[in-house]
Homo-oligomer: A and B are copies of this chain.
Amino acid sequence: MLYEINEKALRLESEGKKIIRLNLGDPDMATPPEIVEAAYGAMKAGKTKYSSSYGETKLRAKIAEAHGVKTENVVITPGSKWAIFSTMFLMLKNGGNIISPTPYWTAYDLIAKTIGAKTKLLHTNMEDGWKVDLDKLQDLIDSETKMIILNNPNNPTSKVMDSETLDGIVEIANEKGITVLSDEVYGAIAFKKTKSILDYGADSKHILSNGFSKTFTMTGWRIGYIVANKPFVDNVTKLNQITFNNVPVFIQEAAMKGMELHAQIASNIKAKYKARADLASKKLKAAGFEFTAPEAPFYVFPRRKGLDGVKFTLNLLDRGVAVAPGSSFGDYPEHFRISLTAPDDQIEDGLNKICEAT
């Protein structure tokens, strides 16, 4: 449904209709110019050759430093999607299943299916603050379970997992010998401190996937990374060698520049999205929607009892605002997802139309 809505929005736009696009997690801001200049400088310096499938040592070291791990624990990937695909491919190509709490990013399930693995969904509710029930998790695990995949902070709820729940999940995973793959792509720009899977040690079985897209407004640059134990990093690198070979070095130099400016860029982005989240919360609350307060960019995932999320989304699109129906993220028919990734005036307009549309 996510893709269909986007296709319809594009079609309406091509017919000349003005659409406020609050349906995708692609920030409206431009990539910071320092990052663009770093890429250009590297290109002109001839950094346009084949390179290591691990990624550039300099960038790996910088990422390792940021996470408090060793350079050997880091491998560069073309986006965090590749980090997730390659991890699942290596762990599941001979079968097995994964457990994913919902609401979830549907790509997880699509990737698992494509590889031939099953996804077991673990439903969480807004009423419980989107908390994972550890007993339910225990019950879902069977002898074929290879992985628990977490998205922390979460898309679409923008909820940060509380550290007790994460402790509990990791404890269960450790007991059963299961890997936790933690997608923390919104972690560096969360509004509150987020406990990372790396807080349990980089030499464990657990794996971090992360990217530069959200933190540095570099979505279309396609650069991310995996942090894991060295043998796993070596295996990902072997897969990199026979698939895309290397992320262009000039793109790695651009990401390096982003890391150097991290404090400044990340705090700008955080402030901007916090203000948007506050505005959205105020308006949605006044209009009687229920939701948990966003603890990270970019999303709000409101509900109204009795709402038909798909119908609501389609009607809203006809009124010029694109959002995503809750059913795109699991069994959430009364919810919808708003991405606060348009210019401020459009967000305000869009929110007004959403609040009127009910």
A225 at the interface (CB under 8 A from B): no
Judging by beta carbons under 8 Å apart, are A249 and B220 in contact?
Answer: yes
- Contact digits for A68-107, partner B, Cβ 8 Å, 1 yes 0 no: 0000000000110110010000000110000000000001
Judging by beta carbons under 8 Å apart, are B26 and A46 in contact?
Answer: no
A328 at the interface (CB under 8 A from B): no
Judging by beta carbons under 8 Å apart, are B82 and A48 in contact?
Answer: no
Judging by beta carbons under 8 Å apart, are B36 and A49 in contact?
Answer: no
Report the minimal beta-carbon distance from A84 to chain B, rounded to whole angstroms: 9
Contact of A30 among B48, B110, B111, B114 (CB under 8 A): B48
A47 at the interface (CB under 8 A from B): yes
- Contact digits for A20-64, partner B, Cβ 8 Å, 1 yes 0 no: 000010100011000010011001101111110000000000000
Judging by beta carbons under 8 Å apart, are A219 and B50 in contact?
Answer: yes
A264 at the interface (CB under 8 A from B): no
Chain A interface size band reads: 35 or more
Assuming the contacts A40-B40, A222-B247, A251-B248, asked whether A242 and B48 have C-beta atoms less than 8 A apart, the reply is no
Judging by beta carbons under 8 Å apart, are B81 and A245 in contact?
Answer: yes
A244 and chain B: residue at smallest CB distance: B78
Judging by beta carbons under 8 Å apart, are B50 and A26 in contact?
Answer: yes
Assuming the contacts A79-B244, A248-B221, asked whether A39 and B50 have C-beta atoms less than 8 A apart, the reply is no
Q: Which residues of chain A from 187 to 228 have a CB within 8 Å of any chain B CB?
A: 217-222
Assuming the contacts A81-B242, A244-B81, A245-B79, asked whether A220 and B30 have C-beta atoms less than 8 A apart, the reply is no
Report the minimal beta-carbon distance from A8 to chain B, rounded to whole angstroms: 15
A320 at the interface (CB under 8 A from B): no
Residues from chain B with Cβ under 8 Å of A243 in the complex: 81-82, 85
